[in-house]
Structures are given as C-alpha cells and as structure tokens.
Amino acid sequence: MDIEQFIYSGVLEEYCLGMLNDEDAAFVVQMSMLYPRVKEELTNIEFAFEYFAQDNAITPSPLLKKKF
C-alpha cells in the first residue's frame, strides 16, 4: 500500500470524525502505529479539527444559564 495515497484518501479525516466502522477504525490505528508519517498526519488533522472547533465556538449568552 502506498502510504501517501492512504494519507490523502480522506480516511484519516473520516476517522477523526468518527465516521468509520470498527474494522476500518482499527486499521487506521494499526497504520498509525506502523508508519510514523501516518501518525504525524493523523495528529495534524486532530489539531486542525480542534483549532477549527475552538476558532468557531460561540460563547453562550449569560441568560442561558438562568434558563436552566
């Protein structure tokens, strides 16, 4: 298997989003343990998703706390 092709297939993004079935998710974990390049890219994707989530987070209104 071509590692670069695997990295750019989109499967790492699907893994981070929880879109893979158990078998495919286990395969991604295995690949990340075998290939440092895959682990590096997976980590980069996780950081990018985290950054995107934090950058686009909306602070709830203080009034919302009173409703609960």
pLDDT digits (tens, 9 = 90+) for 16-59: 999 999 999 999 999 999 999 999 999 999 999 999 999 999 98
CB 16 within 8 A of CB 42: yes
**CA–CA separation, 2 and 55 (whole Å):** 34
**CA–CA separation, 51 and 46 (whole Å):** 9
Handedness of CA 23, 29, 31, 33 (dihedral sign): negative
**pLDDT (0 to 100) of residue 21:** 98
Q: What is the pTM of this model?
A: 0.81
The torsion of the CA quartet 41, 42, 44, 49, rounded to 10 degrees, works out to 140
Query: In the predicted model, is pLDDT for residue 8 greater than 80?
Result: yes
Query: In the predicted model, is pLDDT for residue 1 greater than 80?
Result: no
**pLDDT (0 to 100) of residue 16:** 97
